[in-house]
Structure 1
Amino acid sequence: MAMTLNFNYDTENQVLFTGNSSVRYVILNRPGKLNTLNHVMVSQILKNLRLYENDFSIKLVILKANGKAFSAGGDIVSLITSSLAGHWTYPLSFYRKLLMLNHLFVTCKKPIVSLINGVAIGGGAALSMRATFRVVTENAIFAMPEVHIGVFPDCGACHFLSRLPGYFGEYLGLTGTRLDAAEMIACGLATHFIPSMKLNSLENALQNITSSNVSTIATLIETFTEKTNVKEDSPFKR
């Protein structure tokens, strides 16, 4: 029996694009699926981020997510289902656009703030790590779990993992070990730690940004930042 594709996508609401004239939001809005990234989502983000980059009135882009997870990576179910059904163009197009999106995050002329308040793993982690500022809360978790199914860390993760101190990046890439917020700060994956209860206040402040000056934005974020300590049994300390 031939397989049919039915991903049941609500293409209008999987990613929300909101904000004001100077600060734009990109909000992952697939909480029931842990905000796993699919072709529709990646295509929409890529399209809108290109528009934001070329709009002189936009000074800042904020990436966040609705629900308990930031993003649990790529939507593997849709990729496998489409492949088994013989629709090879779907996974090929998805990965091509996902890599293009990661590249755009790195090269974007506008500062990007990632608000990581939950699990950010696999492709979701890789996307969030491209932002100019990577703000984590006590709920943040980082990992590249694809290594557990025999896949190397993708989406350009080898680039930022290889730049971590010592051989810690290699360790993460080989083991898929999970890190909490304190460990992400300590090794350089995250730039700022802010308790989740302060996120709304931070966002309200960021919405008043009228300049793309990175130092100005950094100073504002630092007013909400708190210190966090790495646990004694942390793999980073070991």
Structure 2
Amino acid sequence: MPTAASDEAPVLLRVHGRAGHLVLNRPRSINALNHAMVRLLDDALTAWERDDAIATVVLTGAGTRGLCAGGDIRSIHDDVRAGGGAASVAFWRDEYRLNARIARFPKPYVAVMDGIVMGGGVGVSAHGSVRIVTERSRIAMPETGIGFVPDVGGTYLLSRAPGELGTHLALTGSAVGAGDAILCGLADHYVPSERLAEFTAALADAEVSQVVAEYATAAPEGELAGQREWIDSCCTADSVEEIVDRLYTSGDHAAKETAETILSKSPTSLKVTLAALRRARALTSLEQVLDQEYRVSAAAITAPDLVEGIRAQVVDKDRDPHWSPAELAQVTDADVARHFAPRDGDELGLAAGTGSR
């Protein structure tokens, strides 16, 4: 049975009854994921998958702000500047394998998506078999704002959201609450935060379905259902430029604000994100999409926008990224296509069965 070395470990491993608890434990950074945490999670799943005494795995985050704010992007910034990004690509390789493993885990995997859940946090939670949100949940794939593209299976999830809601969320990076997360297929059940402690305690000895039936209730109504008409009509366009144009001319104030939000993001990231979503719709498995995302991520790290976006958001915090190219019209089809090109000798290989453990 795996055990955490101490309460200072970045992932705490605890067993209550027949439930194995994974606690992301970097609360000062809202439990941002690093490579060591990915390895610890994977090792714990290996042990608990084989342990008949463990019937359920429960994922939570330490602290009060959220489950996980995403990957440790400052370390990616530093790695690219100092070493060209090799460590970051190795991190993504193991992280995406973990995402696929969570989706196929043979025992109930209960993810408590309380508070902030973004980027890599979505990857370790939204592929689980039972996904819990609360009134405090704020879930997002905000990658276009840092010069990156939704990954960790995010393009798989968003490409399968109703209508064009996933396109809207991917391009804008907007966070959604509990009701909209359930609508978009990012979560399953709503449990009020004041009942979370009871909920997770009850998983020690009861069937997950019974505990969910006892504690889950109707989620507060979200916003996206009422915006579906203009989102679907605008975001079905074949290019980011056309989406923005439709948003501006739709006559809806919220649509115009959405256009302005999109135009603040990395032009290259926007175009690659739209292409990745459209391609993901045509792929049949999460593993195929993760293979594609690995190519995209490894290509993105060689372009200037990722380092610049992270600099602006978390290093200098001036919130004034200088994208290159600076305009959508300057991003060529070739710029987009290179993100999807096969990587000679360095494919993730999940769909082919060569990348799993």
Distance 2:58 2:99 in 1: 15
- Give the distance between the partners of 1:11 and 1:147, measured in 2 at CA: 35
Cα deviations across residues 165-185 of structure 1 (Å, max 9, x unaligned)?
111111111111110112112
Q: Distance in 1 between matches of 2:116 and 2:196?
A: 16
2:181 pairs with 1:184:
yes
Residues 116-163 of structure 1 show CA distances to partners (whole Å, capped at 9, x for unaligned) of 111001111122101101101111001111111232211111111111
| Contact kept? 2:122, 2:152, Cα under 8 Å | no
Q: How does 1:91-170 map to 2 (within 5 A)?
A: 91-170=88-167
Distance 2:147 2:88 in 1: 18
Stretch of structure 1 that moved more, 219-228 or 36-45: 219-228
Tell me what 2:43 maps to: 47
In structure 1, the partner of 2:335 is: none
> CA separation in 2, counterparts of 1:191 and 1:74?
23
Partner of residue 169, structure 2: 172
Q: Which runs of 5+ in 1 are unaligned?
A: 1-9, 210-215
139-148 vs 180-189, greater mean Cα deviation: 180-189
Name the amino acid aligned to 1:54. Answer: R
Cα deviation, residue 83, structure 1: 2.2
Indicate the residue corresponding to 1:29 in structure 2: 25
> Residue 114 of structure 1: CA displacement?
0.4
Q: Which amino acid aligns with 2:50?
A: N
* TM-score between the two structures when normalised by the length of structure 1: 0.87
Q: Which amino acid aligns with 2:211?
A: L
Q: Give the drift of 1:87.
A: 6.3
The structure with more helix, counted as a fraction of residues = 2
1:73 is aligned, of 58, 65, 70, to 70
**Does 2:192 match 1:195?**
yes
| TM-score when normalising by structure 2 | 0.59
Q: Quick check: 157-166 or 12-21, which moved more?
A: 12-21
Residue 203 of structure 1: how far off its partner (Å): 1.3
Aligned to 1:3: none
Distance 1:12 1:87, change over 3 A: farther
1:56 Cα deviation (Å)?
Answer: 2.1
- Contact 1:37–1:124 (CA under 8 A) maintained in structure 2: yes
Cα displacement (A) at 1:227: 1.4
Structure 1 position 229 matched with structure 2 position 225? no
- 2:140 and 2:169 in contact (8 A); partners too: yes
Aligned to 1:206: 203
Higher share in strand:
1
* Counterparts of 2:33 and 2:137, CA distance in 1: 18
What displacement does 1:12 show?
A: 5.3
The one-letter code of the counterpart of 1:149 is: I
Name the SS of the counterpart of 2:124 in structure 1: helix
Q: Check 1:202–1:11 CA distance in 2 against 1; reply closer, same or farther (3 A cut).
A: closer
The CA RMSD over aligned residues, in Å, is 1.7
Query: How many residues are treated as equivalent by the alignment?
Result: 221
1:4 maps to none
Larger Rg: 2
Deviation at 1:22, TM superposition (A): 2.0
* Structure 1 CA distance for aligned equivalents of residues 7 and 214 of structure 2: 37
**What letter matches 1:34 in structure 2?**
I
The Cα of 1:65 is off from its aligned counterpart by 0.4
Q: Distance in 1 between matches of 2:57 and 2:85?
A: 33
Matched letter for residue 30 of structure 2: L
Identity %: 34
Residue 89 of structure 1 and its aligned partner are, at CA, apart by 3.4
**1:220 and 2:211 correspond:** yes
- Conserved? CA contact 1:187–1:236, under 8 Å: no
1: CA distance, partners of 2:8 / 2:194: 29
Whole-angstrom CA distance in 2 between matches of 1:120 and 1:59: 25
Q: Is the 8 A contact 2:157 2:185 kept in 1?
A: no
